Structure 1
Amino acid sequence: MTEKFIRGMARARWAVLLGWLAITVASVLFLPNLADIVRQTEQKFVPSDSESVVAKRMLEQINPEATTKSSAILVYSRDGGLTGQDRAWLKAKAAELGGLSGKGGFQSVQSAYETPELASKFRSKDGTTEMLIVGFSGADNDALTQDAVDELDGRIKDAPAGGKVELTGSAPIGKDFQESSENGLKKTELLTVALVLVILLIVFRSPVAPFVPLITIGLSLVITTGLVAAATHWGMPVSSFTQSFLIAVMFGAGTDYCILLIQRYREELSRDGDKVEALVRTIRTVGKTVAFSASTVFVAFFLIGFAQFGLYQSAVGVAIGVAVTLIAGLTLTPALLMIFGKAMFWPSRIAAGQGHGESKLWAGMAAFSARRPVAIILVAVIVLAPVTLLFQNKRSFDDLAEIDPKLGSVQGFRQVERTFGSGEVFPLSIAVSSPDSMRNPAALAVMETASANVAKLGGVKEVRSAVRPLGAQLADLTVSDQLTKTSEAIEQLKDGVDRVAGGLKEAETSVSGGRGDVDQLTSGLRTMAAKTKDAQSGLNQIRGGLRQASQGAEQLEGGLAQSASVSASMSADFHALLKAHPELKDDAAMQRLLGKQQGLSGGLNELKGGANRLSSSFSRLTPGVSQAASGLGQLAAGQTAAADGVAKLGGGLTELTGGLQSGAKGLGDVSAGLTQVKEAQQSIGDSQIPGWNLPQSALDSPELRQALDYYISKDGKTAKFDVVLAVNPYSPEAQDTVGQVRDALAHSFGGTVLKDAKVYVSGTSAQITELKAISKSDFMRTGAFVLIGIFIVLMLMLRSIVAPLYLLLSLGFNFLVTMGIVEFVFVRLLGKEGLSWSASFFIFLIIVALGVDYSIFLMARFKEEYRPGGVRDAMAKAMSTTGGVIVSAAVIMGGTFAALMMSGVNTLLQIGAGIVVGLILYAFVFMGLVVPALANLFGEANFISGFARNKEKAPKLKEVGDT
């Protein structure tokens, strides 16, 4: 900034102020609202090409009309068990909500009343709790979905007295988290302003001076939020953290820059009382320090934009805020200094020669670090290094731990967890993609094997798929069940054959009795006149016997038809069985079974021969009886023919009876063989999958087709598996189970018709697994970028390589010590599962980006004061003059981030605590002792690459005033 420009800005101070006010008003009127954008933004920021996102898109294509993008679970409970009134209310509520489908974001309702066969899925075993699942057409963060949750919440206020009803699930939990963040942000804003005001009053001891930084930062913040909101249209990600960090960083860093400018302005004003000259000297000296300090923060947050993880990228908006604050600090703040002048320090009076006092405490630390640099460094390492070992990087991904446990969504989740298991709320949804259709028996058989293998995993409670729509194996499709039913059918056939054989025996007896009467009739014919009445009677007996024989033949015909049908069905079952399980061909029990089945076929052939002869005998018998009836004159001949037919009938009946008895015995052997096969199947062992067979007829059944339409796409190339976990979906065990499920599916598909299928896992636990890997790799990658960027800025400012190196090492060491303390407090003392998964990254970023400001304050003055051979004197002067500024800056920065601890969001609580610890530790221990000791230890090596040039410029700098 040239002297001419500074003087011109001093003269146009009111125009500068009005210009900033105009820009602020324009940003409010014409730029988007950042809070509204954050409210509708997905907070997980999983990359669009990640496995869980791809899986979700694939699953939505299986049945687009029925797919929901988010859901709420209505959890109704009553201690001691639900009453009839409770169930009546739930039934009416299910019908009421069902009527909202397709309206206002509502899409579907699932309950025990719409699908009674799934009642056990919605009602707890202890009878105390029941669920209704409401599906929404939009994502959790959609405005329409949030309005639907509000609508749903309003409709459950009429629950019966004594019952407890809560809403949980992805949409209500997301809504509670967002509202907690917004409420926390409001608290943070108020607390930050209050803390900054109090600290400024203490620092300046004036009620006027604090308005300079408050106006500067307040206008900058309003403009920045509008610019960040507008930048989202060009792809800049934002989150609830964006707003919180904007407030904390801009108030913290901006106030530090303002303090530096005000303190120097006061010092310069005390020299001659000329406001314009004081401003010129202030900007020419500390203006560059402010610019470099802001540059390091800007670079750090700007480089966050190169992270792959969206939540980390959302902090890039702070870079815009720092840039706006820097511009305001170098334009608006000087204008305000000119407007207020000496009145800014009222009631104190600025006397000539009254400069900024030196800190005796920091002067003493400077002397100590000059005398014992090695001892200070060794003690610091020995004392602080063990603290770094407390940092085990234990991370928690539990979203519920982020918000107040008294909120309804958390209470509802805990109730489901107690009565159903937490896995019911957030199951895994798995998409399987195959190049060929999976709507065939072979592919479905592989799915059954895969479902069974996944169900055996320790962390899995239940698997639901096209072949297990209710979460259990379909018994009708198991070989064991099919063998049981076949054996039962054969037993029924055997009973039928036995009854037919019994009927034939009675017929044979009747015919034999009829043959005796025929003999009497033949004898009586010789005395025709005397025995007419006996002949008439004998003929009647023959007709009765024939009727019995005819009935027996009809029974035989029915039995043979049943035998043929069952035999054909049994043969088909054998073929299907052997096709599905070719390994059974070599089984000894199966070989015996096949032999006996062939015996059955032989017996049935004998039955067929006997039946044919029976039919022939009746054909010859009928004309004979007709002749007897037509005339007694031909009775003898007819009776003879009848006697021959009766004789042949008896022989045929005997053969037929023997064939049936042989067939019945064969059927009994077949039944016994099937029983042996079934027992062999059931005794295979737990390591094998029970036999499973899907006939084409079952595939075409309406029940199975409905399951196929729900779990498999119409083209058959995408299938869905729902896996209900037996562990908390946020737990490390759930994350391990995700990998086990993926491996089990891959193993089940290998070497089968689905060997080329690809598996994509989605769901809360799957997303956590991805977050864990992505956030870790991005931390290392982006952290390296930030350190390199800050190193370059420091190297340019200090014109040295050595000093930036030990400054960054001190920042890194300070971060590890800080994390050791924070993890010890939250995990070991407070019993948390781990620190919030994003806390360590943001603590690192802010401690490094803002902590380096204190290094710049000190080293910039050190650079000004240095003369060849005077390292100790230069550091002593730098520490005594900037120590108070560093302490003030650290207290203000720590105070602004301490306000985050009151936000009510667990992550912000941990971040705030970590930054307070880190900045205070760095300001007092590292800046007060370690960094000065390192500077004294390296001596003239600090000035490699250009520090010595200050010697030539020193007299000129002294003329305009040093820092």
Structure 2
Amino acid sequence: EAFSKQVDSQKDHLQQAEKQFARLAAAQKKIDTQINAMINGLTSIENGLQQVSDGQGALAGQMPRLESAAGQLAEGQKKMKSGLGDFSSRLSDLSSGLNDSVKGLKKVSSGMMGANDYLGELHKASDKEMTGWFVPKDALTNSDFTSVFNTYMSDDRKTTELTVVLDNNPYSNTAIQDIQAIKASVKRAIPNTDLKNASFGVSGVSSMNADLKEVSDSDFKRTAMFMLAGIFLILIIMLRSLIMPVYLVASLVLTYFASIGVTEYIFTHFFGYPGVNWAVPFFGFVILMALGVDYSIFLMDRFNELKKEGTEPAMISSMKNMGSVIISAAIILAGTFAAMLPSGVLSLLQIATVVLTGLLMYAIVVLPFFVPVMVKIFGRANWWPFNLKK
């Protein structure tokens, strides 16, 4: 019975152990299932890691492209930033332009109002003929405009000064002609205005030269007539002839005009001047007449002394005896007047050129050729009407 109890006790223990083993087997089965699941998970992880590794390799291969794309993206961002800056600047310019436009419109509006006021005052002006010179009241009362009145008008406002600026050399012949044109224009215009009883005058360097030229031209005519008449009378008395003084005076006048022509040609074609100065004809004429008549007297006085030899022998002997004297005197005087050339003064340069040309021409061409030909042509009539004998 005790053994049976032990057997039953062991049986109970075995049953409990079997239950425990059953439980342990079930737990082990769960563990095995979990281990299998873990193995599968690890396999999945391994596969995932492999994919990650492959992805990393692919990503590493795409890194240059990503880097280039990132650079392009940065460059695009810079351009976008610059574009936004330019756009902002354009908006600022547009805003400034709109402000200027508003200011301009205000000025236009103000100008339109001023023009309306001006037209209103112009319509009410009493002198309809002078409306082209109409000055608005606001301008007349302006301080700057009033200072102009004080500068160019007298205190009683009855005398005014108009300044005319020429576009050429004020000392030139063109400026002198312009002065004459200005005077003529004023004379034509004044009678048709309210200033018809007003007097006017023109001053300035060009006007002074124009006045001097006018006086010189007037004096030149009188001087030329007096000099030629005086020379003619002196030659008549010295040569006792009316014929010889005629062609001698003619030779002097011919030489003068030839030298003036040569001088003008030289200064216009070689030096670019518009012509000879207004003072040159007067002084050139006086000097050439005074010197040239001396040379003609030297020759013809000796011709008169030898007239008994006959017309042709007397002229040939006179040329032999006096030719060297006349040419030497002409060269010396030409050298004297040539000293005026370095002066740099235009009028002196031209006067010296006229005298040089005239003296050399008269001594080398006129006296040796023109005078002997005239003596040959007239023959015994050279001494008409005083003495026709040989």
TM-score (normalised: structure 1): 0.27
Aligned to 1:223: none
Deviation at 1:860, TM superposition (A): 1.0
- Residue 737 of structure 1, CA deviation: 4.1
Contact 1:897 1:912 in 2 (8 A): yes
Task: Tell me the alpha carbon deviations over residues 565-601 of structure 1, each in whole angstroms, 9 at most, x when there is no partner.
Answer: xxxxxxxxx7x655415769xxxxxxxxxxxxxxxxx
Which residue identity does 1:709 align to in structure 2? N
Are residues 1:837 and 2:281 paired?
A: no
Equivalent in 762, 785, 788 of residue 203 of structure 2: 762
Which residue of 2 is the match for residue 905 of structure 1? 345
- Runs (4 or more) in structure 1 with deviation over 6 Å come to none
Q: In 2, Cα distance between the equivalents of 1:861 and 1:885? A: 12
Which amino acid counterpart does residue 729 of structure 1 have in structure 2?
Answer: P
Counterpart position of 1:798: 239
After TM superposition, give the deviation of residue 776 of structure 1 in Å. 3.0
Q: Tell me which amino acid in the other structure corresponds to 1:802.
A: I
AA partner of residue 692 (structure 1): V
**Aligned partners of 2:141, 2:313: CA distance in 1, in Å?**
93
Q: Using the TM superposition, give the Cα deviation of residue 824 of structure 1 relative to its aligned residue in structure 2, in angstroms.
A: 2.1
| Change in 2 beyond 3 A, CA 1:834/1:747 | closer
Query: Aligned pair 1:941/2:384, yes or no?
Result: no
Q: 2:125 aligns with which of 580, 584, 599?
A: 580
Kindly state the Cα deviation for residue 912 of structure 1 after the two structures are TM-superposed: 2.1
SS, match of residue 154 in structure 2: coil
Partner Cα distance (1:810, 1:802) in 2 = 13
Secondary structure at 1:805 match in 2: helix
Q: Which residue of 1 aligns with 2:331?
A: 891
Match status 1:708 vs 2:253: no
- Contact map agreement 1:863 1:947 (CA 8 A) in 2: no
Residues 1:870 and 2:313 are matched in the alignment = no
Q: Contact 2:173/2:277 (CA < 8 Å) preserved in 1?
A: no
In 1, Cα distance between equivalents of 2:361 and 2:234: 23
Name the structure 1 match of 2:135.
692
Partner letter of residue 357 of structure 2? V
Which of the residues 810, 820, 824 maps onto 2:265? Answer: 824
Structure with the largest fraction of helix: 2
AA of the residue aligned to 2:132: I
Aligned partner of 2:295 in structure 1 is 854
Tell me, in whole angstroms, the C-alpha distance in 2 between the residues paired with 1:733 and 1:887: 39
**Bigger CA radius of gyration:** 2
CA displacement 1:49-69 (0-9 Å, x = unmatched): xxxxxxxxxxxxxxxxxxxxx
Q: 1:748 to 1:579 in 2, by over 3 A?
A: farther
Greater RCO, 1 or 2 (C-alpha within 8 Å, sep 6+): 1
The answer to whether the Cα contact below 8 Å between 2:170 and 2:206 also exists between their aligned partners in 1 is: yes
> Of the candidates 364, 377, 387, which is equivalent to residue 924 of structure 1?
364
Instruction: Report 1:516-915 matches (<5 A).
Output: 579-581=124-126, 689=132, 691-694=134-137, 703-731=144-172, 734-746=175-187, 749-867=190-308, 870-915=310-355
Report the Cα distance in structure 1 between the residues aligned to 2:280 and 2:375, rounded to whole angstroms: 32
Shift of 1:778: 2.9
**1:333-372, Cα deviation, whole Å (9 max, x unpaired):** xxxxxxxxxxxxxxxxxxxxxxxxxxxxxxxxxxxxxxxx
SS in 1 for 2:170: coil
Q: Distance in 1 between matches of 2:356 and 2:192?
A: 58
Q: Is the 8 A contact 2:173 2:278 kept in 1?
A: no
Equivalents in 2 of 1:582, 1:883: separation in Å? 78
Distance 1:750 1:812, change over 3 A: closer
Residue type at the aligned position of 1:716 = R
> How far, CA to CA, are the matches of 1:481 and 1:723 in structure 2?
34
1:795 aligned partner, one-letter code: I
Q: Take 1:880 and 1:767, find their aligned partners in 2: how far apart are those partners?
A: 50
Quick one: structure 1 residues 480 and 945, their matched pair in 2 at CA, closer, same or farther if it must change by over 3 Å? farther
Name the amino acid aligned to 1:758: S
Q: Deviations over 1:216-251 (max 9, x none)?
A: xxxxxxxxxxxxxxxxxxxxxxxxxxxxxxxxxxxx
User: Are residues 905 and 923 of structure 1, via their aligned partners in 2, closer, same or farther at CA, if it must alter by over 3 Å?
Assistant: same
Matched pairs, number: 280
Are the structure 2 counterparts of residues 750 and 934 from structure 1 closer, same or farther at C-alpha, using a change threshold of 3 Å?
closer
> Any idea what SS the aligned residue of 2:202 has?
strand
- Provide closer, same or farther for how the CA distance between residues 834 and 733 of structure 1 changes in structure 2, counting only shifts above 3 A: closer
Deviation at 1:931, TM superposition (A): 0.7
Of Structure 1 and Structure 2, the greater strand share is in: 1
Question: How far off is 1:948 after superposition?
Answer: 5.9
1:268-307 alignment, distance < 5 Å: none
Kindly state the Cα deviation for residue 805 of structure 1 after the two structures are TM-superposed.
Answer: 0.5
Check 1:483–1:917 CA distance in 2 against 1; reply closer, same or farther (3 A cut).
closer
Cα contact 2:173–2:275 (8 A) shared by 1: no
Q: Is the 8 A contact 1:480 1:691 kept in 2?
A: no
How much does 1:484 deviate?
3.6
- Structure 1 vs Structure 2: percent identity of aligned residues? 39
Shift of 1:788: 0.9
Instruction: Give the AA of the match of 1:778.
Output: D
> Per-residue deviation at 1:798?
0.9
Structure 1 segment 194-593 matched on structure 2, within 5 A: 484=116, 579-581=124-126
Residue in 2 that maps onto 1:631: none
What is the alpha-carbon distance in structure 1 between the residues aligned to residue 310 and residue 181 of structure 2? 65
CA distance 1:744–1:692, shift in 2 (3 Å): farther
Measured after TM superposition, the shift of residue 773 of structure 1 is 3.3
Deviation of 1:777 (Å): 3.3
Q: Residue 818 and residue 703 in structure 1: after superposition, are their counterparts in 2 closer, same or farther (change >3 A)?
A: closer
User: Would you say the 8 A contact 1:843–1:911 is kept in 2?
Assistant: yes
Q: Matched residue of 1:716: which SS?
A: coil
Shift of 1:897: 1.6
Inter-partner Cα distance in structure 1 for 2:388 and 2:133: 84
Counterparts of residues 12-91 of structure 1 (less than 5 Å): none
CA contact (8 A) 2:118 2:136 kept: no
In the TM superposition, residue 791 of structure 1 has moved relative to its aligned partner by 0.7
SS in 2 for 1:719: coil
